[in-house]
Amino acid sequence: MRPMRLWKSVSLAFILSVVWITFFLSISIAFGQTKASGVKPPIKIGYIAAFTGPYAGPSIDMRDGFLLYLSQKGNQFAGRQVEVLIEDDEAKPDVGLTKAKRLVERDKVDLLCGIVHSGVALAIAEYVKGQKIPLMIHNAAADALTQQRFNQYIFRSSFSSSQLSHPLGEWAYMKGFRKAAIVSSDYTAGWEYSGGFARTFTEKGGRIVQEIYLALGTPDPGPFITAIKTEVDMVYAFHAGADALRFVRRFDEYGMKKRAVLFGAGPLTHDSILPEEGDSALGILCSNTYTTVLDNPANKAFKNAVLKKYNRPATSFTLLGYTGGTMLEKALESIRGNIEDRGSFIKALEKVEILDTPRGPVRFDKYHNIVVDNYMCEVKKIDGEIVNSVVDTQKDVSQFWKWSPEEFMKMPTYISMKGKWVK
Amino acid sequence: MNFWFVQTINGISYGMLLFLLAAGLSLVFGLMNIINLAHGSYYMLGTYIGITVYRYSKNFVLAVVGAAIALAILGVLMQRFILRRLYGNHLGQVLLTFGFVFIIADISLLVWGGYAQNMPTPSLFRGATTIGGITFPTYRLLVIGVGLLVALFLWWFQKGTKIGVAVRAAVDDEEMSQAIGLNVPLTTTAVFGISTALAALGGVMGGPFIGAYPGVDVEALLLALVVVIIGGLGSLRGAFVGSILVGLLDNFGKALFPELSLFTIFAPMAIILAIRPNGLFGRAL
């Protein structure tokens, strides 16, 4: 290019850049003014769950429960607008971590919530510690999250896997059962839920006679059911989703209910699959943090609100999202909505205690896991409807049961105890 | 002893379900050189539609017929208006049918929700049968029976009927077949419809024991692909042998090595790919 042309191009480019930069600078200053003028920006919450894939049902319900609570409060907590950004982790830890990073670093959320899948929770746990962003887990139950892998930014308002199996083990022994077979899904949840039962059951004097673990997604649990030893008087089975549905039906079809009583955790006879299980589920005993037939005013109001807003019945997952919202609001109110002060926010969460939620009283323990009442439920047909009916309650159950946190965490983990319960 | 026998029956019956899936997949490939990744989604839709029809009619046969017809229509529409445009374009077909997997999965989530569902076992076949001291589930025998019937029917169809001969002619040489007056486009569309109807039949038969839930489409597709890879694309015999093999491997794998259950399926597949890339009975791609 000839010198004159070159000079013209360069100066044009220079002038354009100056104009461009000035333009953006002024815009950001203008918006900056809004921030400084005293109107607090909205609280931004990142909600992550597995909205596609096998955990879609629980994730959708959980999110809807949370959003329902928020809408009941006019989309405001402690006087500040709340903005919820929803992301799908597809139940994959790497995707979950990516979405978490996006929410924290690009969208600048103040808090992460949700999480159904424990793998995702574990992937995000370390990340939030480094970023100093609180994480409120509404479901993921792996014991380690509030035990070995605990950090102060993690709070769990659902339960830990073994938490509700501890009382079940003692209750079963008290009811006269002495010989148990464990027939559970072969992954962390299966080992931890079953382990909690096994520990308290054997400490009382019961015996685990057999342990059978089925691969996730086993198309037919029938052959495993027929392999259960005849001497047992009860079977503890942890299964969830499609596996639970298949297991309960096969257990009945093979005539096992006449030989041994079936015990399990909430997912085995969950509200969502109970109608599908039908009469096969009658008589099954499960430990639950919530059942739809709990008789208290908060639960009645909650169920009606869900039916009205979403035109479908509430499940325990809707309730978990709802509880998450309830506890979050309580903490925010006590610090006047100042979530930016992470230290105070965390201290506020630690102090949250609510007595009248639909599932009863809730609060956090020293390791930020929820302390709740455990409901022993039996599946019964009441007024033509099959429900999880409460037959007994243990109050104030923490993840450590009767042990102190230090004692409990000195004992071998349930993951390591898999296969070792049979003496 | 009982354990092994029941596992074998379960493996074979699961294999029959896979055969219904794989036969369709293989047929469509053999005839039209189309790789249809949405095949697992047809299976899932078959189960869901079967469950819905059963809920309103309480009739298992009606559920089978309803699902088969619905999926046949869907298949014909898909092939006629969409897949035909990509004839010969393998990559395009793969991408398009894969896109359909997501679309169908999302629509299913919207219509039927995210929780697992299943069908009650038809009352005639409920419970277990005991022969010679060995107890096995009666319904599984029905599945095996249906699978064998379909296999025989497809065999006869291919070899013994005019339409079957027309199909084979179209596979061998499409231009020549059209030249001698065979309506090739109609034939291919009809075969596609049959293939999706077969997948739906598999879905409904699987309703009582596998059920429907988000994710079952990918599970079914994965196994169907393994079957056609082992058995060979385009071969009915390959689909039959392959599906029994995979059904048994999957069942025994999950029973004996729960942590390695995927390995027991994919290891043989890898071996076959290494030794006989066209599968046991397949023809070249």
CA A278 to chain B, closest CA, distance in angstroms equals 9
The answer to the question of residue A324 being in a domain is yes
Co-location of B104 and B184 in the same domain: yes
pLDDT tens, A85-138?
999 999 999 999 999 999 999 999 999 999 999 999 999 999 999 999 999 999
Co-location of A266 and A377 in the same domain: yes
Residue A28's pLDDT band (cuts 50, 70, 90): low
Q: Is A415 on the interface with B (CB under 8 A)?
A: no
**Average pLDDT estimate for B102-126:** 89
Query: In chain B, what residues touch A272 (CB-CB under 8 Å)?
Result: 115-116
Task: Write down which residue in B214, B245, B270 finishes a domain.
Answer: B214
Sign of the Cα torsion B192, B198, B202, B205 reads: positive
pLDDT tens, A173-222?
999 999 999 999 999 999 999 999 999 999 999 999 999 999 888 888 88
Does pLDDT of A384 surpass 80? yes
B259–A223 C-beta distance less than 8 A? no
Co-location of A322 and A379 in the same domain: no
Which residue in the set A60, A227, A242 is minimally distant from B3, CB to CB?
Answer: A227
CA B267 to chain A, closest CA, distance in angstroms equals 18
User: Which of B52, B103, B250, B254 best probes binding to A when mutated, by most A CB atoms within 10 angstroms?
Assistant: B254
The answer to the question of residue A147 being in a domain is yes
What ipTM did this prediction achieve? 0.78
Are A350 and A368 within 8 A, CB to CB? yes
Does pLDDT of B285 surpass 70? no
What is the percent of chain A with per-residue pLDDT over 70, rounded to a whole number? 97
Residue B284's pLDDT band (cuts 50, 70, 90): low
The answer to the question of residue A8 being in a domain is no
Query: In chain A, what residues touch B124 (CB-CB under 8 Å)?
Result: none
pLDDT tens, A307-361?
999 999 999 999 999 999 999 999 999 999 999 999 999 999 999 999 999 999 9
Co-location of B255 and B114 in the same domain: no
Co-location of B180 and B242 in the same domain: no
Residues of chain B in Cβ contact (below 8 Å) with chain A: 2-3, 6-7, 10, 14, 105-106, 109, 113-118, 120-121, 126-128, 135, 137, 209-211, 213-216, 219, 250-251, 254-255, 258-259, 261
Co-location of B65 and B180 in the same domain: yes
DSSP structure class, residue B212: B
Are A206 and A182 within 8 A, CB to CB? no
Task: Write down which residue in A353, A368, A383 finishes a domain.
Answer: A368
Query: In chain A, what residues touch B11 (CB-CB under 8 Å)?
Result: none
Co-location of A114 and A97 in the same domain: yes
Q: What is the pLDDT of residue A34?
A: 47
Structural domain of A98: 43-160+295-368
Q: With the CA atoms of B111, B114, B115 and B116 taken in that order, what torsion angle do they form, in degrees rounded to the nearest 10?
A: 80
The answer to the question of residue B53 being in a domain is yes
Query: Which is it for strands A234-237 and A261-265: parallel, antiparallel or unpaired?
Result: parallel
Give the residue ranges of DSSP H helices in A272-315. Answer: 274-277, 297-310
Co-location of B103 and B75 in the same domain: yes
Are B67 and B119 within 8 A, CB to CB? no
Assign residue A105 the CATH number of its domain: 3.40.50.2300
Q: What is the DSSP string of A1-41?
A: --HHHHHHHHHHHHHHHHHHHHHHHHHHHHHHHHHHTT-PP
Which residue in the set A52, A54, A246 is minimally distant from B209, CB to CB?
Answer: A246
The answer to the question of residue A9 being in a domain is no
Co-location of A277 and A299 in the same domain: no
B211–A56 C-beta distance less than 8 A? no
Co-location of B57 and B189 in the same domain: yes
A54–B250 C-beta distance less than 8 A? no
Q: What is the pLDDT of residue A75?
A: 95
Co-location of B150 and B271 in the same domain: no
pLDDT tens, B25-43?
888 877 777 778 999 999 9
A52–B106 C-beta distance less than 8 A? yes
Q: Which residue has the tokens 């930014």?
A: A153
Query: In chain B, what residues touch A92 (CB-CB under 8 Å)?
Result: none
CA B128 to chain A, closest CA, distance in angstroms equals 7
Co-location of B59 and B109 in the same domain: yes
Which residue in the set A52, A246, A272 is minimally distant from B115, CB to CB?
Answer: A272
Query: In chain B, what residues touch A55 (CB-CB under 8 Å)?
Result: 114
Q: What is the pLDDT of residue A171?
A: 97
Co-location of A209 and A99 in the same domain: no
The answer to the question of residue A194 being in a domain is yes
The answer to the question of residue A31 being in a domain is no
Please give the tally of structural domains in chain B. Answer: 2
What is the percent of chain A with per-residue pLDDT over 90, rounded to a whole number? 83
The answer to the question of residue B3 being in a domain is no
User: Which of A220, A250, A257, A418 best probes binding to B when mutated, by most B CB atoms within 10 angstroms?
Assistant: A220
The answer to the question of residue B70 being in a domain is yes
Q: What is the pLDDT of residue A219?
A: 80
Task: Write down which residue in B185, B214, B243 finishes a domain.
Answer: B214
Does pLDDT of A33 surpass 90? no
The lowest-confidence range among A175-179, A407-411, B230-234 is: B230-234
Cα gap B50→B44, rounded to integer Å: 10
The answer to the question of residue A19 being in a domain is no
Co-location of B112 and B232 in the same domain: no
**Average pLDDT estimate for B120-138:** 77
A215–B258 C-beta distance less than 8 A? yes
pLDDT tens, B49-81?
999 999 999 889 999 999 999 999 999 998 888
B114–A60 C-beta distance less than 8 A? yes
Does pLDDT of B173 surpass 80? no
Q: What is the pLDDT of residue B181?
A: 84
The closest alpha carbon to A197, from A254, A115, A262, belongs to A262
Q: What is the pLDDT of residue A330?
A: 96
Minimum Cα–Cα distance from B120: chain A residue: A276
Sign of the Cα torsion A306, A310, A313, A316 reads: negative
CA B166 to chain A, closest CA, distance in angstroms equals 38
Co-location of B245 and B185 in the same domain: no
Task: Write down which residue in A368, A391, A407 finishes a domain.
Answer: A368
The lowest-confidence range among A71-75, A301-305, B188-192, B202-206 is: B188-192
Minimum Cα–Cα distance from A244: chain B residue: B116
Q: What is the pLDDT of residue A1?
A: 58
Which residue in the set B3, B106, B113 is minimally distant from A223, CB to CB?
Answer: B3
Co-location of A172 and A275 in the same domain: yes
Co-location of A282 and A176 in the same domain: yes
The answer to the question of residue B7 being in a domain is no
Q: What is the pLDDT of residue A29?
A: 65
**Average pLDDT estimate for A257-265:** 95
Please give the tally of structural domains in chain A. Answer: 2
Q: Average pLDDT, whole number, for chain B?
A: 86
The answer to the question of residue B18 being in a domain is no
A222–B137 C-beta distance less than 8 A? yes
Task: Write down which residue in B214, B247, B273 finishes a domain.
Answer: B214
The answer to the question of residue A27 being in a domain is no
The lowest-confidence range among A302-306, A333-337, B235-239 is: B235-239
The answer to the question of residue B36 being in a domain is yes
Co-location of A243 and A209 in the same domain: yes
The closest alpha carbon to A270, from A18, A61, A53, A28, belongs to A61
User: Which of A139, A210, A253 best probes binding to B when mutated, by most B CB atoms within 10 angstroms?
Assistant: A253
The answer to the question of residue B131 being in a domain is no
Co-location of B45 and B179 in the same domain: yes
B258–A219 C-beta distance less than 8 A? no
How far lies B133's CA from each of B7, B13, B61, B124, B143, in Å? Answer: 15, 20, 31, 21, 22
Minimum Cα–Cα distance from A225: chain B residue: B3
The closest alpha carbon to A130, from A103, A96, A104, A98, belongs to A104
B210–A255 C-beta distance less than 8 A? no
Number of H helices, E strands in chain A: 14, 15
User: Which of B4, B21, B115 best probes binding to A when mutated, by most A CB atoms within 10 angstroms?
Assistant: B115
Q: Is A419 on the interface with B (CB under 8 A)?
A: no
Co-location of A149 and A230 in the same domain: no
Minimum Cα–Cα distance from B10: chain A residue: A220
First to last CA, chain A: 89
Co-location of A116 and A221 in the same domain: no
Does pLDDT of A36 surpass 60? no
Query: In chain A, what residues touch B6 (CB-CB under 8 Å)?
Result: 222-223, 226
pLDDT tens, B243-260?
999 989 888 887 777 777
What is the percent of chain B with per-residue pLDDT over 90, rounded to a whole number? 36
pLDDT tens, A150-164?
999 999 999 999 999
Q: Is A214 on the interface with B (CB under 8 A)?
A: yes
Compute how many other C-beta atoms are within 10 angstroms of the C-beta atom of residue A6: 10
The answer to the question of residue B10 being in a domain is no
Q: What is the DSSP string of A45-67?
A: EEEEE--SSTTHHHHHHHHHHHH
Structural domain of B191: 24-120+140-214
Co-location of B182 and B269 in the same domain: no
Co-location of A246 and A100 in the same domain: no
**Average pLDDT estimate for B161-182:** 80
Co-location of A242 and A387 in the same domain: yes
Q: Average pLDDT, whole number, for chain A?
A: 93
Q: What is the pLDDT of residue A114?
A: 96
